[in-house]
Amino acid sequence: MYSQGLIGADGSTDESQEVLAAFQQRIDAEEKIEPNDFMPQGYRRTLIRQIGQHAHSEIVGMLPEGNWITRAPTLKRKAALLAKVQDEGGHGLYLYSAAETLGVSREEMTEELLAGKAKYSSIFNYPTLTWADIGTIGWLVDGAAIMNQIPLCRCSFGPYARAMIRVCKEESFHQRQGYEIVMTLAQGTPEQKAMAQESLDRWWWPVLMMFGPHDADSQHGDQSMAWKIKRFSNDELRQKFVDATVPQAEYLGLTLPDPDLKWNPEKNGGQGGHDFGAIDWDEFWAVVKGRGAMNRQRVEARRKAWEEGAWVREAALVHAQKRAERNRLMTQAAE
């Protein structure tokens, strides 16, 4: 189902070495690149690809949790979940807008998503089977998103970096509400604690996959780091996430489902860090290529929303045109 997206699939660039070197100087001087500035085609395409996929992830990411809004156990939980899911929709909108500054339209990006050409995060192709999954998603999925996105606040492309500042603040609230749900379950009845553990067992490995393939298999990693789009590699962020999460799980009295997880004092240049087991990359690539449990339903839900929202887009456009025409006539009359 998935193939390379049409837009931004190719990060290669054909400017002269001189032009690329001058651009790199701006990057190395930590200057922000703004939409009207010169940028190499490869830089533009890489950003369109990454920001577009990120936007799709936020919008598709509303679906697994949206599934539980009507079944949240209390009014307070329902209100918090509703707000969180709305926040994710807002993140998608900032990101689509940031991508649009690079010369791609939201329609083009959406068509790629619906055609199965543009990717979105693998994590959203897993089902939310129990209420505990809503806690686990907040704690771990938003936790992983924050680990990945805090460095993006320093991305060299201005609109993406600025969008990330607000997104990270909101993700931080999401992470805490998730952790609090899991803590309530972990401190509840034995059945509730078992539900939290079972959910953790299902989500742990897919969450580690969110950071992307190992650095050795990361196609875009080196160039994106050189252009300071990414500030840390996939493996560096995954390691930071594991090290941050182990004490959180211990505090909850839950067990991370990895028999190979252990403290290694030699890691991280002698500062210490956790060794952890092997990730199932066959599962990762199967999910990315469209063979996850929920891929078909996720894209279908987005197609339905896009088609059923067509009249709203048309009405908004006609309204904007009428207002512009009215303003034009008023300005003409005043002259």
Chain residues binding ligand FAQ by CB under 6 A are 4, 49-50, 53-54, 57-58, 61, 88, 119, 121-122, 137, 141-142, 145, 148, 209-213, 218-221, 224, 234, 288
CB of 119 to ligand FAQ, least distance (A): 4
CB of 224 to ligand FAQ, least distance (A): 5
CB of 64 to ligand FAQ, least distance (A): 7
For the chain, count helices (H), then strands (E): 14, 2
CB of 137 to ligand FAQ, least distance (A): 6
**What residue type is 212 in one-letter code?**
G
| Opening angle at CA 117, ends 111 and 122, nearest 5 | 110
CB of 61 to ligand FAQ, least distance (A): 3
End-to-end CA distance of the chain: 58
- Which residue, 100 or 142, is less far from ligand FAQ as judged by CB? 142
Q: Classify 206 in phi/psi space as left (phi over 0), alpha (psi -120 to 50) or beta.
A: alpha
| Opening angle at CA 86, ends 80 and 91, nearest 5 | 125
The number of CA neighbours under 13 Å toward the Cβ of 323 is 6
Measured between alpha carbons, how far is 135 from 122 in angstroms, rounded to an integer? 19
The residue of the chain with the least Cβ separation from ligand FAQ equals: 61
- Which residue, 49 or 228, is less far from ligand FAQ as judged by CB? 49
What b/e readout covers 232-258, taking b as 16+ CB neighbours within 10 angstroms?
bbbbbbbbbbbbebbebbeebebebeb
Measured between alpha carbons, how far is 177 from 233 in angstroms, rounded to an integer? 28
CB of 67 to ligand FAQ, least distance (A): 12
Sign of the CA dihedral with 196 first, then 127, 89, and 36 last:
positive
- Which residue, 72 or 210, is less far from ligand FAQ as judged by CB? 210
DSSP E strand stretches across 189-315: 262-264, 273-275
- Which residue, 175 or 193, is less far from ligand FAQ as judged by CB? 175
CB of 117 to ligand FAQ, least distance (A): 9
- Which residue, 86 or 219, is less far from ligand FAQ as judged by CB? 219
- Which residue, 121 or 199, is less far from ligand FAQ as judged by CB? 121
Measured between alpha carbons, how far is 48 from 29 in angstroms, rounded to an integer? 23
Q: Note the Cα 108 to chain centre separation in Å.
A: 19
Tokens at 177, concatenated: 């509400």
- Which residue, 227 or 276, is less far from ligand FAQ as judged by CB? 227
CB of 138 to ligand FAQ, least distance (A): 8
CB of 153 to ligand FAQ, least distance (A): 12
- Which residue, 125 or 193, is less far from ligand FAQ as judged by CB? 125
Tell the burial category of 96 from Cβ atoms under 10 Å away from its Cβ (0-12, 13-18, 19+): buried
Measured between alpha carbons, how far is 221 from 214 in angstroms, rounded to an integer? 10
User: 3-state class of 67 per DSSP?
Assistant: coil
- Which residue, 53 or 177, is less far from ligand FAQ as judged by CB? 53
